[in-house]
């Protein structure tokens, strides 16, 4: 049955796509981007940020590229991978989209990889950040980041700053397991001690029992990864359980001090050091303009790292379509995406032509209050970081 379904899908996709790119080009048909995002449910902030960023990109850069009108088709997968797969299939077969994009969480990005491969449709991953995603299909291009990429920097910083023992606490799926592995290995290499490794479920996590355990173990610091949207709950319970008062420091990837929520976290977040590829406080002209325009277009909402992944994803798609002279076509678009170099609001970045993953700066940041608001203020940078997950 499964086999049947697969070959039916293959045939349907092949029939739907035969010559469709050049025909669409000749007829001046719109260029369609299928943007699949979690617009509702636990990951809804990711969807809201990326959709807003994609729309801002289009408002700033026009909705026509090389003579083709750009059509954004937004679909809500509620972050359930079965939905993501079904929507991707519909978008390819019925809507005949030229590019699939979005993907709020790793299981959603992975669910679409076979469809991208079979239909030769570029899959632009704007959010999901498990290292292995780019290896699931040669049609995946990533504009977000990877957890190995950002976890190593904080594991180098911590032992130089009085942290000799840690407990790790991560969400129990792809990116959390990557963060745990790459943080721990590096921290141990640097002479540190990992006292315990704790994992919380992705759906409806309750951090309380885990934090209690950390309190009992009394490490110098707790290292945390949770996906975008869950950071505020961790921070709140960290404060309520008096962890900071018990002398346990909090270090994390920047997913925890997420710019989408940071300003509502309160003073417990002050002084928390994280490593990540984007801060809304990044001091460049390009970023200042981006943040200002984003806030203006979205009732003051501050862009987070998801927004930047979406904004740069649109840039990569626009540039690729331009390079093909408006013609498109999966393989030509993919070739034109590889190796793109650009200045992102996050800083300089490029798409590695070999791995199709993004290479970018990783920053160490500390939460500080400025003009009454909380920001991730960058104080150090590791330049041009490739995903360390690719070399293993």
Q: Which span (20-28, 61-69, 126-134, 325-333) binds ligand DHB, by CB under 6 A?
A: 126-134
Q: Which span (23-31, 92-100, 125-133, 161-169) binds ligand DHB, by CB under 6 A?
A: 125-133
Question: Helices 2-17 & 106-119, crossing angle to 10 degrees?
Answer: 60
Q: Which span (19-27, 121-129, 232-240, 261-269) binds ligand DHB, by CB under 6 A?
A: 121-129
Q: Which is nearer to ligand DHB, 146 or 340 (CB)?
A: 146
State which of residues 205, 227, 330, 347 lies at the interface with ligand DHB (CB under 6 A): 227
State which of residues 35, 53, 99, 105 lies at the interface with ligand DHB (CB under 6 A): 105
Nearest to 169 by CA among 192, 196, 190: 196
Question: Residue 264: exposed, middle, or buried by beta-carbon count in 10 A (0-12, 13-18, 19+)?
Answer: exposed
Nearest-approach distance from CB 299 to ligand DHB, in angstroms:
22
Q: Is residue 79 at the binding interface for ligand DHB, with CB under 6 A as the rule?
A: no
Nearest-approach distance from CB 221 to ligand DHB, in angstroms:
20
Q: Which is nearer to ligand DHB, 186 or 277 (CB)?
A: 277
How open is the CA angle 309-100-109, to the nearest 5 degrees? 65
Q: Which is nearer to ligand DHB, 87 or 133 (CB)?
A: 133
- Tokens found for residue 10: 């293959």
How open is the CA angle 54-151-367, to the nearest 5 degrees? 70
Question: Residue 4: exposed, middle, or buried by beta-carbon count in 10 A (0-12, 13-18, 19+)?
Answer: exposed
Q: How many angstroms separate the Cα of 315 from the Cα of each of 53, 310, 342, 350?
A: 11, 9, 9, 12
Q: Which residue is nearest to ligand DHB (CB)?
A: 227
Q: Which is nearer to ligand DHB, 42 or 324 (CB)?
A: 42
Nearest-approach distance from CB 159 to ligand DHB, in angstroms:
25
Q: DSSP secondary structure string, 315-333?
A: HHHHHHHHHTTT---HHHH
State which of residues 91, 129, 167, 234 lies at the interface with ligand DHB (CB under 6 A): 129
Q: Which span (127-135, 160-168, 288-296, 333-341) binds ligand DHB, by CB under 6 A?
A: 127-135
- Judged by CB under 6 A, how many residues of this single chain contact ligand DHB? 12
Question: Could you give the string, one character per residue 21-60, with x where binding to ligand DHB holds by CB under 6 A and - elsewhere?
Answer: -------------------------x--------------
Q: Is residue 228 at the binding interface for ligand DHB, with CB under 6 A as the rule?
A: yes
Q: Is residue 17 at the binding interface for ligand DHB, with CB under 6 A as the rule?
A: no
Q: Which of residues 148-187 bind ligand DHB (CB under 6 A)?
A: 174-175
Q: DSSP secondary structure string, 266-306?
A: -GGGTT-EEEES--TT--SHHHHHHHHHHHHHTTTPPP-HH
- Tokens found for residue 179: 């963060």
Q: How many CA atoms lie within 13 A of 206 on its CB side?
A: 3
State which of residues 51, 220, 255, 357 lies at the interface with ligand DHB (CB under 6 A): 255
State which of residues 49, 121, 130, 324 lies at the interface with ligand DHB (CB under 6 A): 130
Distance between CA 129 and CA 3 in Å, rounded? 30
**39 sits in which H/E element:** none
Q: Which is nearer to ligand DHB, 228 or 324 (CB)?
A: 228
What number of other Cβ atoms are within 10 A of residue 212's Cβ? Answer: 13
Residues that bind ligand DHB (CB under 6 A): 46, 105-106, 127-130, 174-175, 227-228, 255
């Amino acid at each position: 049955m499964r086999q049947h379904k697969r070959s039916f899908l293959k045939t349907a996709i092949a029939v739907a796509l035969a010559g469709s790119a050049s025909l669409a080009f000749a007829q001046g048909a719109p260029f369609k981007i299928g943007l699949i995002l979690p617009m509702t449910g636990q990951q809804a902030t990711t969807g809201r940020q990326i959709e807003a960023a994609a729309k801002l990109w289009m408002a700033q850069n026009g909705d026509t590229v090389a003579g083709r009108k750009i059509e954004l088709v937004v679909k809500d997968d509620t972050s359930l991978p079965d939905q993501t797969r079904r929507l991707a299939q519909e978008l390819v077969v019925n809507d005949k989209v030229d590019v699939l994009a979005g993907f709020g969480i790793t299981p959603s990005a992975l669910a679409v990889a076979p469809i991208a491969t079979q239909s030769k449709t570029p899959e632009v991953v704007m959010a999901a950040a498990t290292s292995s995603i780019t290896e699931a299909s040669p049609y995946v291009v990533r504009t977000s980041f990877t957890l190995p990429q950002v976890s190593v920097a904080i594991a180098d910083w911590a032992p130089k700053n009085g942290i000799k023992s840690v407990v790790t606490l991560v969400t129990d799926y792809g990116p959390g397991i990557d963060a745990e592995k790459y943080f721990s290995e590096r921290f141990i290499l640097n002479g540190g001690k990992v006292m315990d490794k704790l994992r919380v479920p992705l759906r409806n996590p309750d951090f309380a029992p885990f934090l209690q355990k950390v309190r009992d173990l009394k490490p110098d610091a707790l290292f945390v990864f949770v996906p975008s949207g869950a950071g505020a709950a961790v921070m709140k319970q960290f404060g309520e359980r008096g962890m900071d008062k018990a002398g346990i420091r909090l270090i994390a990837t920047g997913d925890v001090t997420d710019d989408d929520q940071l300003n509502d976290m309160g003073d417990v977040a002050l002084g928390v050091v994280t490593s990540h590829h984007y801060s809304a406080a990044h001091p460049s002209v390009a970023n200042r303009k981006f943040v200002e325009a984003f806030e203006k277009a979205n009732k003051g909402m501050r862009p987070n790292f998801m927004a930047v992944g979406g904004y740069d994803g649109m840039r990569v798609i626009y540039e690729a379509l331009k390079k093909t002279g408006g013609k498109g076509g999966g393989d030509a678009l993919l070739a034109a995406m590889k190796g793109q170099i650009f200045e992102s609001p996050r800083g300089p970045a490029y798409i590695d032509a070999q791995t199709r993953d993004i290479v970018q700066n990783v920053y160490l940041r500390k939460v500080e209050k400025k003009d009454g608001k909380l920001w991730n203020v960058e104080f150090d940078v590791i330049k041009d970081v490739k995903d360390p997950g690719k070399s293993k």
